[in-house]
């Protein structure tokens, strides 16, 4: 099972079992903006998405997306 979290220069979020939950929590800590009408998530500069297998403790950072 893949786990997701968002990381900023100052914070690392908790691991969540699905991307939508990770995005909602990232929005709550100010790491991005979640468009309520469309459900699109826009991460702020310096924010990175990390993914990890539940069996494997090491995270694999995704590329930072340009705004």
HEC string for the chain: CEEEEEECCCCECCCECCHHHHHHHHHHCCCEEECCCCCCEEECCCCEEEEEECCCCCCEECCCCCC
Predicted pLDDT of residue 5: 93
Question: Could you read off the pLDDT tens digit of each residue along the chain, which spans 67 residues?
Answer: 899 999 988 888 899 999 999 999 999 988 999 998 999 999 999 999 999 987 665 555 555 544 4
| pLDDT value, residue 10 | 84
Report the pLDDT value the prediction gives residue 32, as an integer from 0 to 100: 92
Q: What is the pLDDT of residue 53?
A: 87
This prediction has a pTM of 0.75
């Amino acid at each position: 099972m893949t786990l997701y979290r968002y990381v900023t220069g100052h914070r690392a979020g908790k691991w969540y079992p699905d991307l939508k939950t990770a995005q909602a929590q990232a929005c709550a800590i100010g790491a991005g903006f979640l468009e309520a009408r469309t459900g699109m998530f826009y991460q702020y500069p310096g924010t990175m998405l990390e993914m990890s297998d539940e069996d494997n403790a090491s995270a694999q950072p995704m590329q930072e997306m340009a705004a």
